[in-house]
Structure 1
Amino acid sequence: MLPVRIGVVGAGVVGLCTAVNVQQLLPHAWVTIIADNFSEETTSDGAGGLFRPTAEFIKGVPPDTIKQWTRDSAEYFMKIAASADAGKFGVFPMSGYHLLNREVNPEYKSLVYSFRQLTPEELQKLGTTYSNGYAITTLIVEPRKYMAFLMTEFRKNGGQSQKRTLHSLEELVGQFDVVVNCSGMRSRWLVNDPLVYPVRGQIIKINAPWIKSFIYTDDDAYIIPRGEDVVLGGVRHTNDFSTEIREQDKQGILDRCARLIPSVKKAEIVKDWAGLRPHRDPVRLETENMKFKSGDLQVVHNYGHGGNGIALSWGVGVHASKLVKDYLAKSRPMSRL
Structure 2
Amino acid sequence: MRVRVVGGGVVGLTSALRLAEAGHQVEVVAAELGESTTSSVAAALWYPYRATPTAEVTRWLATSYAALTALAADERTGVRLRSGREFFREPTPDPWWRSAVPDLGRMPADQLPEGYLDGYQLTAPVVDMAVHLPWLQNRLRDCGAGIETRRLSGLPGALAGVDAVVNCAGLGARELAGDDTLSPVRGQIIVVEQFGLTEWLLDQNDPARLAYLVPRSETVILGGTSEEGDADTEVRPATAEAILARCAALAPAAAGARIVSHRVGLRPARPAVRLETEISPDGPVVHCYGHGGAGVTLAYGCADEVVEHVQRLTSALP
- When normalised by structure 1's length, the TM-score is 0.89
Match of 2:271, SS state, is strand
CA contact (8 A) 1:302 1:320 kept: yes
Partner of 1:64: 55
The partner residue of 1:99 within 65, 80, 87 is 87
CA contact (8 A) 1:234 1:253 kept: yes
Percent sequence identity over aligned pairs: 34
Match of 1:240 among 230, 249, 253: 230
Computed over aligned residues only, the root mean square deviation of the Cα atoms, in angstroms, reads 1.4
- Match of 2:47, SS? coil
2:107 to 104, 118, 125: 118
From 64, 68, 77, the counterpart of 1:89? 77
Residue 208 (structure 1) shift: 2.8
Q: What is the CA–CA distance in structure 2 between the aligned matches of 1:174 and 1:49, rounded to whole Å?
A: 34
Matched, 1:288 2:278: yes
Mean CA deviation greater in 68-77 or 105-114? 105-114
Larger gyration radius, structure 1 or structure 2:
1
Segment drifting more, 16-25 vs 169-178: 169-178
Deviations 1:259-311 (A, max 9, x none): 111221111000100010001111111111223xxxx1210000000101000
Assess if the C-alpha contact under 8 Å between 1:128 and 1:260 holds in 2: no
In structure 2, what residue type is equivalent to 1:90? G
AA matched with 1:47: A
Unaligned runs of 5+ in 1: none
Structure 1 position 51 matched with structure 2 position 46 = yes
CA contact (8 A) 2:11 2:168 kept: yes
Q: Please state whether the residue corresponding to 1:282 is helix, strand or coil.
A: coil
Task: Give the secondary structure class of the aligned counterpart of 1:49.
Answer: coil
* Partner Cα distance (1:206, 1:88) in 2: 22
Q: Distance in 2 between matches of 1:101 and 1:158?
A: 51
Distance (whole Å) between structure 1 residues aligned to residue 314 and residue 14 of structure 2: 20
Unaligned runs of 5+ in 2: none
Q: Which amino acid aligns with 1:78?
A: T
Q: Is the CA contact 2:58–2:100 (under 8 Å) kept in the aligned structure 1?
A: no
Per the alignment, in what secondary structure is the counterpart of residue 306 of structure 1?
coil
* Matching residue within 225, 239, 257 for 2:247: 257
The CA distance in 2 between the partners of 1:32 and 1:158, in whole Å, is 9
1:226 corresponds to which letter in structure 2?
A: R
Aligned match for 2:193, one of 207, 214, 226: 207
Q: Is the 8 A contact 1:114 1:138 kept in 2?
A: no
User: 1:180, CA displacement in angstroms?
Assistant: 0.2
Look up the SS of the partner of 2:104 in the other structure: strand
